[in-house]
Amino acid sequence: MNSFMNSYFGPLPREYCVYFLILAVFFGILFVISLFSIATFIIMHYKKINSLFIVNSFLILFNTFLGYLANRLLYTMCVKSI
């Protein structure tokens, strides 16, 4: 029973930390693309900007940044703990 638990629920090897690195890179790129597209839209259509657009843009940037930060932190914790 103990070998079953270790094989299916035990710690994974260090190579699995790359999962968090890939997600951190993905969310980092997504943040930069979102920032660039929102800035471009604001420059091109500055007369059409309303408060709802500003709030939605802030929430999109905030969520993508949190995704980046959380996965970067998880990658660091994973590498340092193994």
List, for the chain, all residue ranges whose pLDDT scores fall below the cut of 50: none
Tokens in use for 23? 């997600």
Query: Does residue 28 form part of some domain?
Result: yes
Give pLDDT, residue 3. Answer: 84
Q: Hey, how many other C-beta atoms are within 10 angstroms of the C-beta on 3?
A: 8
SS3 45: coil
Give pLDDT, residue 35. Answer: 97
How many separate domains does the chain show?
1
Query: Does residue 23 form part of some domain?
Result: yes
19 by Cβ neighbours in 10 Å (0-12 / 13-18 / 19+) ranks as middle
Query: Does residue 7 form part of some domain?
Result: no
Give pLDDT, residue 4. Answer: 85
Query: Does residue 48 form part of some domain?
Result: yes
Angle at which helix 18-44 crosses helix 51-81, to 10 degrees, equals: 160
